[in-house]
Structure formats: C-alpha cells, structure tokens
Amino acid sequence: MPATAMNHFTILTDDVAATVDFYRDLLGLVDGPRPPFSFPGAWLYSGSAPILHVVGGRKPSELRAGVIDHVAFSAVGLADTVARLSARGIEYECRRLPAGDLWQLFFHDRNGARVELDFAGAEPGPAEGAGGA
C-alpha cells in the first residue's frame, strides 16, 4: 500500500513548553488535543491537522541529529519570519532557488532539529544568502 501524504513529524525535547513556544511563535502552529500517553509531550496543529508531535522527557544528550536532515513546511510571510528569527538571535540561511520561484529559509530549533520553510519566490526577501543573527 503506497504512502499518500506526510502525516506528521516528531521532535524530541528536554523542554516541552519551550519547544511548543518556539513552534507556536515562529510558525504559528497551535497546541491542540493529544491522546493521554504515559510520557510528556504535545501535538501542534496547522488548521485541523496535528502535523508536529513533541515528545518530552528526553535528556539533552539524546537530542542529536539522525539520518533525517530536516523537516520542511510551506509558509507565507518571509520578511516577517526573518525578522522574528533575527529578534530571537536565531541564525538562519535564506536562499532563492536558481529558477527564482521559491525561497528556502533554514534554521535550527532549540533542540537542534533543522527546519526549512518554503516561501513563494514572488515574496520580497532578504539579500540572497543572508545568514542572520
């Protein structure tokens, strides 16, 4: 049976509240209903879909990159997002694809997870290759 869509991503953390704040403040995700698991965590929603699962109770030594390089989201509001990253002192890389139809904005969350946000190429953006922070 083939996969038909991506359902969600999971981020491991030692601080659920700070991770929820990060994704709520930067991506506009909303904390929503989650089954009563026996471990701490949160489900973050975009509309009615819980697209990011946060699993807490991890030691900082467990928060390391694995074989998946990054998670990517479609987004709007590139200039505002860059301003929010800069205000928080979060380093980022922003580049326009060679065809010019897409901006890619990369940064890391507080747990070390690499995040990509994709914006329409028509959006005004920072200088190509800007690195912020």
Stated pTM of the model: 0.86
Q: Taking a C-beta distance cutoff of 8 angstroms, is the pair 35, 52 a contact?
A: no
Is the per-residue pLDDT at 127 higher than 60? no
CA distances, 8 to each of 26, 57, 72, 76, 131 (Å) = 18, 20, 11, 20, 28
Q: Is 59 in contact with 13 (CB distance < 8 Å)?
A: no
CATH 3.10.180.10 correct for 1-61: yes
In this structure, what DSSP letter does residue 62 have? G
CATH no. of 65-133:
3.10.180.10
pLDDT of res. 60: 84
pLDDT of res. 103: 94
Q: Per-residue b/e over 51-80, b at no fewer than 16 CB within 10 Å?
A: bbbbbbebeeeebeeeeeeebbbebeebee
Q: What is the pLDDT of residues 47-77, one digit of tens each?
A: 999 999 999 998 888 888 777 778 999 999 9
Query: Distance between CA atoms of 27 and 77, rounded to whole angstroms?
Result: 10
Q: Are 1-61 and 65-133 equal in CATH topology? A: yes
Query: Using one digit for the tens of pLDDT, what is the confidence trace for 66-123?
Result: 777 789 999 999 999 999 999 999 999 999 988 778 999 999 999 989 999 999 999 9
Domain boundaries, the chain: 1-61, 65-133
